[in-house]
Amino acid sequence: MLVCVRTTINLPDGLAEAAKARAAAEGRTFTSVVEEGLHRVLAAEGRIRSQGEPLPTYGDRDGSFLVDLLDREALWEALDADGSA
């Protein structure tokens, strides 16, 4: 079961801008860049295991993904779009 926590963090402007720029350059979300950084720091300290193998993804044959599992907003939108609401 995937549990996500929404939280607010305060970052220096320059750090936030650099992370957003990297996310945009790599076609990723800001959240995924921050998450990767936290994983690296905590794994280096031995506090958590490394991320290991990436999760499988499924999509169209042309290579476009139906849902990027690293994009939490898109994931929640897909889960909420089941038509029951």
Give the total residue count for the chain: 85
* Bridge partners for 65 per DSSP: 59
Contact 18, 12 (CB under 8 A): no
1 or 61, which is more confident: 61
pLDDT at residue 72, as a whole number: 84
Q: How confident is the model at residue 79 (pLDDT cuts 50, 70, 90)?
A: confident
Query: pLDDT by residue (tens digit) across 5-45?
Result: 888 999 999 999 999 999 999 999 999 999 999 988 888 87
Phi and psi at residue 59, to the nearest 5°: -170, -160
Higher pLDDT, 59 or 29: 29
pTM over 0.75: no
What are the boundaries of each domain within the chain? 13-52, 56-85
